[in-house]
Amino acid sequence: MMRLALAKALERIAFFLIGCGGVIVLIQAFWITYGVFVRYVINDPDGMVTEATALLLVPVAFCGLAYALISDAYPKVTLLIDNLSPRVRGIIDRVNLVIMTTVGLFFSVAASEAAIRAYSSGAASEILLWPRFYFWIPVAISLYAFSLTAIAKILIYQAPTEAFPLEKEIL
C-alpha cells in the first residue's frame, strides 16, 4: 500500500514537472516571437533572446523524464522482445529499469553537484547575467523525480502476463 502511495505521489510530481516544462516552452515561444518581431519589423535585434531561450532549453529537456517513464513513452524495440516468454520479458524489463535508475541517479548527483558549484562560484550567464544554478536546480529535481519513479516502478513491477501481445492487435 505504501508503494502505491509513493507511486501516486511521484506521478503528481511528474505531472507538475511536465506542467512546468510546458510553461517554459510557452515563455520561449513568446520570447522567440518577440525576438523575431523586433529583429525584422523594428530592425533592432534583441541580443538576449538567443541566450535566454538556449538557457531555458536545459530545464525543459529534463522536465518530462519522469512523466515519460510513467507513461511508458520511451522508445522500445519490441520486434524480438514481444516474442519472448512473459518471464524473460519481465527480467528484461526489470534490468532495463535498473539501468535507467543507475543512469538517472548518476546524472542526479552530477546535476546537484553542478547546482552547488554554480551557486558557490556565483557563475552567471554571459549576456543576461542570470545565475547558472537557477538552471541546474530544476534539472536536478527532474532527474531525482525520474530516478525515484524508476525505483518505484521496480518496487511495484508487475510481470507481463500475455505470451504474445501482438496477436491481439493482429487478430
Write down the pLDDT at residue 171.
47
Give the gyration radius of the chain's Cα atoms.
21
Q: Is 40 exposed, middle or buried (0-12, 13-18, 19+ CB in 10 A)?
A: exposed
pLDDT tens for each residue of 68-105: 999 988 888 788 888 888 888 889 999 999 999 999 99
pLDDT tens for each residue of 51-72: 888 888 888 989 999 999 999 8
Q: Is the C-alpha dihedral spanning 26, 29, 34, 37 positive or negative? A: negative
For the entire predicted model, the pTM comes to: 0.84
Interhelix angle for 133-155 vs 2-40, to 10°? 150
